[in-house]
Amino acid sequence: MFEVALKALFLLLYATFVGFIFMGIIRKVSARIHRRVGPPLYQPILDTIKLLSKKSNITHGLIYDFGIIYALGATILALFFIPIGSVSILRAYGDLILITFLLEIPMLGIMFAAMSSGNPWAGLGAQRALLTLLAIQVPLGFAIVALAEFYGTFSTYQIVMAQQVSGWSITHVSLLLAAIAYDIVLQAMFGKEPFDIMIAPGEISLGPMVEFGGKHMGILQIQHAIALFAETLFFSNIFLGGAVVTIFASPVLNTIASLGILLIKQIAVLMVAIFIGNIFPRFTIDQAAKFYWKWPTIIAALGAVLASL
Amino acid sequence: MDWKLWEPLIEFARKRSLWIVSFCTGCGGIEMPPLMTSRYDLERFGMMPNPAPRMADLFLITGYVTPKTLKRIIITYEMQPDPKYVIAHGSCTINGGIYWDAYNAIKRLDAYIPVDVYIAGCMPRPESVMEGINKMMEMIENGTADSWKRYKENYEWYKKNQDELFGEGWREREAKRWIPWIMDDLKRVEKEREKND
């Protein structure tokens, strides 16, 4: 019991720290793409400390506070279900559908809070976010179906173990198609550029985030860090082979090695998202919905059909 | 918990992550994009332009201020959460600049909202804006950037000046200003519909 709590704490701290570094990597790499120097890597940590140390704070009622906590809690829960090397806590129950569902719940929490603030921009952003959420479901569902068809199981940990034997998922044609569709969906889940319609800085002020200031925004930064970590981790687990290292004699060395391998894979996933995000402009919401129901859906459906043959 | 121990870290974080609310008044707005883009990259210091006043710390007032803009500036300033800093940028915010005899420009911004740092020039070069921001960071570090405290303590004085300029109850009047227009429009639409029926 105590050991599980300790593991959970370690996982939480590790995910938060690495997530913040990921946010820093996003800003740094974007700056380098623009030929700028960019902020230091630890910049998001400073931002969060500053936001949490604000002396005055506003609130718009109970739901406004609750939505933020709800989003953070759902992200942490999603993190605990994803197998991360050999450290994970609830990996035996880490169902594909459960994790994809839990990774979308935080959006709903943010929507609750944004809608209860009564700001028209926040309402507009919430509408756009919900439509994006609706649009990404179709390719996401097909990608999950393709995985489940291919491996004959919904358990993420079993999929990782199967990949240890039969090679990475993306080396099979059907799952490569599913991975491409999932990667396009990831762009919307990160809130990166071609599909950052819900946040849309400049276009609709900041969308749902417009009314969050001070401590609420600080908690949302922590939530965003953990969500970045969890989403990249989930992708590298199901498509890039995860990491189960057993070559060393000591379990600590094995854990560190698998965390390192996972980190490299996560950064690779993140880099693809940053590069795509920096060279494409934003879609309008109707274009995004049409796009998601067209190309990624076709690709993922093809993958699902190929996987079941 | 005793936050005294963490104070240096918090001050460092406040200093190194000033988020600017993108409120570009007047011609100084044109000096903001060069500061943020690749030549004079302000993101090195962790600064970020931000469209939402709720997340912002730093308010750059870039150029002359008309009474109509000043109402929005005051509302935006009051929306920011508390450790908030103001940099007045350009000569027009100091004494009216070339609009010294204009009937419709504010001569002294300091009478309406508190200012931490002034940057003179028309327009100031990006280097001098960076110099001003450097000064601002020093002031945050040694605790002399206390304009938000001054605004709280001397609120009567600031409110008196604002009310003298705009008249009492200007916030309500400003909010209700568009209602007659909208009502007229509604009536016109109603009439047209009756005519068509």
ipTM: 0.85
Query: Given this model, what pLDDT does residue A159 score?
Result: 84
The average confidence (pLDDT) of chain B is 87
Q: What was the pLDDT predicted at B56?
A: 87
Residue pairs between chains A and B whose CB atoms are closer than 8 Å = 85
C-alpha count within 13 angstroms, C-beta hemisphere, residue A187: 28
Q: How confident is the model at residue B54 (pLDDT cuts 50, 70, 90)?
A: confident
What per-residue confidence (pLDDT) applies to A198? Answer: 77
Per-residue model confidence as pLDDT tens digits over A174-192: 888 888 999 888 888 888 8
Q: How far is B73 from chain A (nearest CA, A)?
A: 16
Q: Which residues of B touch A (CB under 8 A)?
A: 9-10, 12-14, 16-17, 19, 37-38, 41, 43-46, 50-52, 54-55, 57, 80-83
Q: What is the pLDDT of residue B2?
A: 66
pLDDT of the residue at A193: 80
What pLDDT sits at residue A33? 92
Question: Residue B56: closest CA among chain A residues belongs to which residue?
Answer: A213
Q: Which of A137-141, A202-206, B128-132 has the lowest mean pLDDT?
A: A202-206
Q: Does A209 touch chain B (CB under 8 A)?
A: yes
Which of B13, B37, B52 is opposite residue A49, by nearest beta carbon? B13
From B54, B86, B81, select the one nearest B158 (Cα to Cα).
B86
A231 and B CB contact within 8 Å = no
Rg (CA), chain B: 20
pLDDT at site A110: 86
Kindly state the tokens that stand for A126: 């919430």
A82-93 exposure pattern, b = at least 16 Cβ within 10 A, e = fewer: bbbbeebbbbee
Average pLDDT, chain A: 86
Of the partner residues A31, A43, A49, the one whose CB lies closest to the CB of residue B10:
A49
Average the pLDDT over B26-42 and give the result: 85
Q: How confident is the model at residue B1 (pLDDT cuts 50, 70, 90)?
A: low
Cross-strand pairs, B88:
B61, B118
pLDDT of residue A29: 93
State residue B35's pLDDT score.
Answer: 87
Question: In chain B, pLDDT over 70 holds for what percent of residues?
Answer: 99
| pLDDT computed for residue A261 by the predictor | 86
User: Does A54 contact B13 at a Cβ distance shorter than 8 Å?
Assistant: no
Question: Residue B88 in contact with residue B132, Cβ under 8 Å?
Answer: no
The yes-or-no verdict on residue A201 having pLDDT over 80 is no
Instruction: Give how far B45 is from chain A: nearest CA, Å.
Output: 6
Q: For chain B, what percentages of helix, strand and coil (3-state, to nearest 5) are there?
A: 60, 10, 30
**pLDDT tens figures, B96-114:** 888 888 888 888 888 888 9
- Provide the whole-model pTM: 0.89
Three-class DSSP category at B118: strand
pLDDT, tens digit (0-9, with 9 covering 90-100), for A250-266: 878 888 888 888 899 99
| B61: CB partners within 8 A, 6+ apart | B23, B25, B28, B73, B86, B87, B88, B89, B93, B109, B115
| Contact criterion met (CB < 8 Å) for B82 and A54 | yes
